Amino acid sequence: MKILCIGEALIDMICTDKGSSLSKGQNFLKKPGGAPTNVAAAVAALGGQVELAAKVGNDPFGKQLVQVMEDFGVSTKYLLLDDQHFTTFAFVSLMEDGERDFVFNRGADGFLSVADVDAIDLTDISIIHFGSATAFLSGPLQEAYLSLLERASKQSIFISFDPNY
């Protein structure tokens, strides 16, 4: 069984100042992230076959994401480097009351296109997994999701959706 994860691939900038809001935080830890990217890494770490379809900037952060996924054993055949857009950043803090505070600086991952996903070979794919964080943004990525999911449903591929709330 092979899983295809599609969607956000980004760098989380996690505020390490306990209980601090993003506006007051001074210290941040850089970590690879994005819900579908995290799922792909977890599946690979558990010994599963998984591919990640996403776009990252052709910058040091995007190249780090590619390397981290390869280190986990995720196929990066469809993890594309984008020369036109930077890698997406998510700034995150955990407030005293346990609520999280997010600010996204959306970049390359929002520009995965229909042409990009049409190039994906679904022959051996059993499950397609995607998340909500980018599923409902208008633009190229939403169109790519719809195109890929239509192809998947015609081929009776199981679709997994993470509401990520």
Domain boundaries, the chain: 2-159
Residue 112 pLDDT exceeds 70 = yes
Whether the CB-CB separation of 69 and 45 falls below 8 Å is answered with: no
Residue 164 pLDDT exceeds 90 = no
Residue 107 pLDDT exceeds 90 = yes
User: Exposed, middle or buried, 35 (CB in 10 Å: 0-12/13-18/19+)?
Assistant: buried
Residue 165 pLDDT exceeds 70 = no
Mean pLDDT value across residues 41-47: 98
* CATH no., domain 2-159: 3.40.1190.20
Residue 13 pLDDT exceeds 90 = yes
pLDDT of residue 20: 86
Q: pTM of the entire structure?
A: 0.92
